[in-house]
């Protein structure tokens, strides 16, 4: 779950990390008021879950409250990086001496947290050359100790004015990362302003799997309505643009099914991993989600391990009888209780395929 910038900054502030003075608002009147309270020049930043806001017209500077109001009016309701802007953050404009980059994330290869820092901040870290990036892996049983902060600081080649602030910031940021189950905490830019270090941006991603124990964080919903419905059923669902609705059991085989559709020239309407052991009822609900988006054809690919083929067949029949299925269904059904499942399908006018690619080819043909 990604947090909006203003949420990330509120979280940082709670831990004592310095952030610019400012406030999130949803109207130009409020923007005028906040700019007035701050005084002087301000920056108005669109609050969307995407980077590169500057390039998309999502960030504006203002030298008076009236100008801040105008900027907010222009940005609110507009579309930046394909996302509708519903709120803006009005903040003091910082005097910038230097911009740094600082992040902590999960390194899947090392299976450890990694701190990434650079004295060349303010741009995409991907665009910074490797020799200007400092990486430090963290042993979770040791944590990020002051000595590591000193060494990282030394490698970044910064002058001593902000040393003390930097030594304090790193362990604090690591504390946020661990205590809030973050996948990513990123400050870009981390601004040197005189002898102060200020987090001028905040990108925080919380591990979805840990939300059960992160109850005090705000909730941010990025999923579509169908995706939310599927999630509530314990299914993994991603909405796509094609016209062939797909249901399979397992993330890998679902991806493989999407790939094979593309291979034959078709396009999938979604990724739906019905998981293992989804019973008849769960399967029927999954089918209803697929139908709600009016596909041209439905392709079901089941390799039954824990999933029982007869459950899948019965689910299909029950949906057909209860709400009707107005589009063709192509089904590949093998594995546990295969014969039983295939017989149920035959009795009810469905054909079952044995090979995944044959079923996919047929679905693509029907979708044309």
Give me the catalytic one of 5, 30, 91, 101.
101
> Does residue 201 interact with another protein by CB under 8 A?
no
Q: Does 54 bind another protein (CB under 8 A)?
A: no
Q: How far is the CB of 48 from another protein (least distance, A)?
A: 14
67 part of the interface to another protein, by CB under 8 A: no
**Residues with Cβ < 8 Å from 264, sequence gap 6 or more?**
360, 361, 364
Q: Does 248 bind another protein (CB under 8 A)?
A: yes
Candidate segments 1-9, 53-61, 175-183, 322-330, binder of another protein by CB under 8 A: 175-183
CA proximity to 95, closest of 202, 201, 191 = 191
- Min dist CB 231 to another protein, Å, is 12
Residue found by looking up tokens 């509530």 in the block: 232
Q: Which stretch binds another protein (CB under 8 A): 19-27, 186-194, 236-244, 344-352?
A: 236-244
- Retrieve residue 132's tokens: 């200007």
Q: Is 270 in the site for another protein (CB under 8 A)?
A: no
CB atoms within 10 A of CB 349: 9
| Of residues 3 and 72, the one with the C-beta less far from another protein | 3
In the bound complex, what is the minimum distance in angstroms from residue 163's beta carbon to another protein? Answer: 29
Q: Judged by CB under 8 A, does residue 58 bind another protein?
A: no
Task: Tell me the backbone φ, ψ of residue 317, rounded to 5 degrees.
Answer: -65, -40
Residue 147 binds to another protein (criterion: CB under 8 A): no
Active-site residue 101, yes or no?
yes
Contacts 24+ apart (CB under 8 A), 355-362: 356/256, 356/257, 356/260, 356/301, 356/332, 357/260, 358/332, 359/299, 359/301, 359/330, 359/331, 359/332, 360/257, 360/260, 360/261, 360/263, 360/264, 360/266, 360/299, 360/301, 361/264, 362/330
The total number of residues written for the chain in this structure: 368
Q: What distance in Å separates the CA atoms of residue 368 and residue 297, rounded to the nearest whole number?
A: 10
Of the candidates 41, 193, 357, 366, which one interacts with another protein according to CB under 8 A? 357
Q: Exactly one of 5, 91, 99, 186 is catalytic; which is it?
A: 186
Give the one residue of 70, 165, 183, 365 binding another protein; rule: CB under 8 A: 183
315-354 binders of another protein (CB under 8 A) = 334-336
Three-state DSSP class for residue 123? coil
Q: Quick one: DSSP state of residue 297?
A: E
Query: Strand 22-25's sheet: what is its strand order?
Result: 22-25, 88-92, 42-46, 59-62
Residue 237 annotated to the active site: no
H or E element: which one contains 198?
A: strand 196-199
Q: Is 126 in the site for another protein (CB under 8 A)?
A: yes
Out of 20, 56, 304, 341, name the contact with another protein by CB under 8 A.
Answer: 304
**Cβ closer to another protein: 8 or 22?**
8
Using rule CB under 8 A, residue 356 touches another protein: yes
Binding window for another protein (CB under 8 A); candidates: 15-23, 68-76, 134-142, 194-202: 134-142
| Site membership for another protein, residue 122 (CB under 8 A) | no
Helix, strand, or coil (residue 343): helix
Q: Is 236 helix (H, G, I), strand (E, B) or coil?
A: strand
Element (H, E) at 299: strand 297-304
User: Using CB under 8 A as the criterion, which residues of the chain lie in contact with another protein when the complex forms?
Assistant: 106, 108-109, 111-113, 126, 139-141, 178, 181, 183, 207-210, 212-213, 236, 238, 240, 248-256, 258-263, 268, 271, 273, 276, 303-306, 334-336, 355-357
Q: Which residues are catalytic?
A: 101, 186
């Amino acid at each position: 779950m990604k947090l909006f910038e203003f949420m990330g900054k509120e979280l940082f502030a709670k831990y004592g990390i310095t952030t610019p003075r400012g406030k999130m608002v949803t109207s130009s009147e409020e923007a005028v008021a906040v700019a007035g309270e701050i005084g002087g020049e301000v920056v108005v930043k669109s609050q969307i879950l995407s980077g590169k806001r500057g390039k998309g017209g999502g960030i504006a500077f203002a030298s008076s409250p009236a100008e801040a109001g105008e900027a907010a009016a222009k940005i609110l309701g507009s579309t930046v990086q394909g996302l509708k802007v519903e709120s803006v953050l009005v903040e003091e404009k910082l005097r910038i001496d230097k911009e740094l980059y600082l992040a902590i994330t999960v390194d899947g290869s090392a299976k450890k947290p990694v701190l990434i820092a650079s004295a060349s901040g303010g741009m995409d870290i991907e665009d910074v050359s490797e020799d200007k990036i400092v990486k430090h892996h963290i042993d979770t049983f040791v944590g990020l100790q002051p000595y590591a902060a000193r060494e990282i600081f030394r490698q970044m080649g910064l002058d001593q004015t902000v040393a003390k602030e930097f030594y304090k910031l790193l362990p604090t940021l690591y504390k946020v990362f661990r205590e809030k189950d973050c996948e990513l905490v990123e400050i870009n830019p981390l601004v040197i302003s005189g002898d102060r270090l200020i987090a001028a941006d905040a990108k925080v991603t919380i591990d979805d799997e840990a939300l059960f124990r992160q109850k005090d964080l705000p909730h941010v919903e990025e999923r579509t309505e169908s995706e939310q419905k599927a999630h509530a059923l314990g299914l993994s669902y991603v909405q796509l643009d094609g016209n062939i609705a797909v249901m399979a059991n397992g993330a890998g085989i679902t991806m493989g099914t999407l790939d094979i559709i593309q291979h034959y020239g078709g396009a999938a309407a979604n990724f739906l991993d019905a998981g293992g052991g989804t019973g008849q009822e769960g399967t029927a609900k999954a089918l209803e989600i697929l139908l709600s988006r009016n596909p041209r054809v439905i392709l079901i690919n089941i390799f039954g391990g824990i999933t029982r083929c007869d459950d899948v067949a019965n689910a299909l029949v029950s949906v057909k009888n209860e709400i009707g299925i107005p589009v063709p269904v192509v089904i590949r059904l093998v594995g546990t209780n295969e014969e039983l499942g295939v017989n149920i399908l035959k009795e009810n006018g469905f054909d079952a395929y044995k090979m995944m690619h044959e079923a996919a080819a047929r679905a693509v043909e029907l979708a044309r």
